[in-house]
Chain A
Amino acid sequence: MTLAHDECPSCGLRWTVPRTGCPRCGAAPRRLSASGLGTVAAVSVVHPASGEPYVLVLVDLDEGVRAMGRARSAVPIGTRVRAGLEDGRPTFAPDGA
């Protein structure tokens, strides 16, 4: 799956969370799609008070923005991953796996 992100047409800054203006220069951003390929920057196995544990990751996408997602397993930081859609959530798995 692709992941949406913003780019400032004026200064080129990119970010993930929708904004109405660029935090560096104030210009109105345009919405782009990222490939969904990236590198794991942070990972946690979350143990909720009720229910099964699940894995959350932060992934540095190749387009230069960061995205939060689920992961199928506790992928180590530095792993190359690709986003897919599982149960309606962006879910990362090792690229090529």
Chain B
Amino acid sequence: MADHVELRTGSYLDSVTLMQVSRTVAAAPGVEAAQVAMATELNLEVIRGMGFDVPDSAPNDLLVAIRGDEAGIAAGQAALESALTESRSAAGSSTGFGEAPTARTLGGAIRLSGADLALVSVPGEHAVTEALDAVRAGVSVMVFSDNVPVEDEVRLKDAAADADVLVMGPDCGTAVVGGVALGFANVVRPGSVGLVAASGTGAQQVMCLLDAAGVGISHCLGVGGRDLSSAVAARSTKRALAALAADPETTSVVVVSKPPAPEVLADLEAYAAGLGKPVHWATLGAGRPDLTAAVESVLTSVGSDVPVWPTWEAAGPSAPTSSGSLRGLFCGGTLADEAMLVAGPVLGDIRSNIPLRAELALGADLRDPGHVVIDFGDDTMTRGRAHPMIDPSLRLDRIAVEAADPTCGVLLLDLVLGHGAHADPAPELVAAVRAARETAAATGRDLRVVVSVTGTTSDPQGLDRSAKALADAGADVLLSNAAATRRALQLLGHDVTAPESARRDTAYAPVAGTVTDVGAEPLHGLLAADVTVAAAGVSLFSDALRAQAVSVTEASWQPPMAGTAAELGRVLADPRRDAANAEALRRMTAAGADLVDVRPAREVLGLERGTFLHAGPPIEFARASGPLKGALIGAMLFEGLADTAEEAEAMLEKGDGVTLEPCHHRDAVGPMAGVISPSMWVYELRDEVHDNTSWCSLNEGLGKVLRYGAYGPEVIDRLRWMNSVLGPILQQAVRARIEQQGPIDVKAIIAQMLQMGDEGHNRNRAGSLMLLRELLPTMITADASSTDIAEAVRFSGANEHFFLNLGMPACKLSTLAAHGIPGSSVVTTMARNGTDFGIRVSGTGDAWFTGPANTPEGLFLGSYGPDDANPDIGDSAITETAGIGGFAMAAAPAIVKFVGGDVPFALRATQTMYEITVGEHTAYQVPILEFRGTPTGIDVAAVARTGILPQINTGMAGRVAGTGQVGAGLVTPPEQCFTQALTALAAAAGER
């Protein structure tokens, strides 16, 4: 016997799916125990409790624990793989060559599918984020998730009112929209009674009774259990009532609920009176009619006969037993409530986990010798397991316990059929009932069992078949839950009869009022449409919808970055954010980039002797990486501040007369080490639209160069040549060109190069040639020796990255324009210094959010390998920040030969980035994606929410100072940059 414990990262699956996977694995031959679960605290506890050694893990990791013999573990693993594959293919996440990945968010799924109804069943703390996506897209949403804070519910429902959509939920388990069952819902005949339901199983009971009486349902709109509380004030109930009032199929409305708060009720009464359709009230509470009585009064008012409610008599016993207590074991909370309300006045105190009065609460063991009613569907009972309508095991165990308990007189059970419930729950329950009666009989007890079955003849499980099987096992089966409860009371020897039916009309407004505008289509026509659905969360519900021939598009949802849920909620709720981000995108894409001059840095950047600009966020020399140190040493030598490398390094270490500052602090950018010293020449680019200027050093070519940290004599000699020959020639060329034709439009070159197979970060071939084409006429007429001109032209033409140093400041101008918009969560800087990765965000000012830079993975030059690579370095990630580079990889499939990966990866990379960007670039387009604009404007909130990190293509510098370039590859920023930025954005949103 051995334990196999394994941790998988990046493979989130919902809890219901994982429970099914766990069961499959545990059932494999030779497996003694198995658990497959997300590594949340709760699950870790469970797995530790099973005796497994659990490694360090994060909540988004998938934990696999299998115990068995060697063959068993192998069989378990095989079962795991096939179960996981099955669950993934069911979710439709498999994609073909270069196809867009499935959406990660509900908003993405809605955009892809054009769905008109959304379904959210992700864990509660994340539910509002997903639901708001739907609301903002003008799509009504059912929120199955529970544990949503009430203030979030109010916020969500207010947003829904603005968008004319309905929020069904949170904690809404049941709805029927246009004949489509959502969540737990029975197959009911179409008809003219509309339901508004704040109670799931209550609504199911009402619909099933109406169906049995031959009365059909137009729609059942859930509103969530708290909607009629004072805090939520019937926000969804009113919208649902208005929608049903305008729906031509609906002629009368039933509100199913626990008693509303009194002031909410008064308000609702007034509201209902103006709807023009009768509104009935099926409510549960002390002294109020039970659900069956309420249904009977509805039937009377719509002119239908009240039928004899279906009953399936137990085979065998018929005499009442007079001893023992009532034990009600329920899956449906409202059914349990109703049972207590009906039985309480007869039996006296009934203890429960959902007691009618607090003092009747059961202890943790849920045991009591007196009358007991347990709701197995209560939140506290479903933590870490599926609802008992899906997974009946807890209740089945309890039935066996009651069978052996001499104080148990009658077992009262519910059985809920319909969509969403267990595919065939009766056989297990039948076996449990049979076993329980036998166990009791063995001790001389006649244990009577009553089952209330909530189902219709059209339910997939078969109402009659299920009920008959239970009756054959010795249970009395009744469709009416109230009648079933009374039957149980009778069996306990109490003389109870049903109240006179249909005595009272529970309608608030049976008189027709103003007729609503017939052309009006509230909720964007939801009730008139044949719905298509987008879903995030438990795939079980999507499968149930597909079985009803409903088109479902599932988001490949996963939880946001660990610990970000609350801040994410605040940032997404910031009312400034949408407009601020739209403005950021507008400015980014509107920014121009003209090459206007080439000048020494001293002149244009005001650099003093001894001041060095460098790439990335601020850093002191001691923490600098090899390549940055090497480049700074080289720059010291170049500036004549030191004669030897050792001397330079010593001066830098002491900081004597040396100032280090990020290029970005002066609106400049530098590739790799990005060191700019006062004597170096720089390109000057202008954005006339926003009146900004940016600068970048001249490119030195490939191989041993300063920017990769090399500082040998050939490096310094080249820099001197660039200063004395190349810079002045380029300056003359640019100035002459401006006189003749105006400045060179760098932005236009970027737009063009993307159509020619470049992505503008690590592939600049077409861009470099186009730039040279622009410069050549005035370069060759510059006032310099023909030898110098020839060398300058040869040098520029030989360098495939000649253009990079113009593309970068062009991108800097774009992001600079978008910087400083209050409330915007758009990233305006991504830069690395070889030690830290830092980002800055439009709405958080000049603050840097940093984390340790990752080391790129990719392809290596010559004999270099991964051990030679330095962590990510350079300001060149400004290209990705502005929507090109890794974000435009699909435009440059050939780049995979340089940075690694394959062509489908390149296509996927760009398409994935749309998930985390605010929009698309208007000028930069990807031909193979039908000229779709590149994904532009990285949204911190979207990154935190999806866990998708920006894709960066980059060169790799050698780890050791002086090495130079060792390769090129792919890299992402560290998560911390984004989680810290989110914290700052949340704080900024809260200050308002």
Asked if A and B are interacting partners, one says no
Q: Chain A: residues with CB nearer than 8 A to chain B? A: none
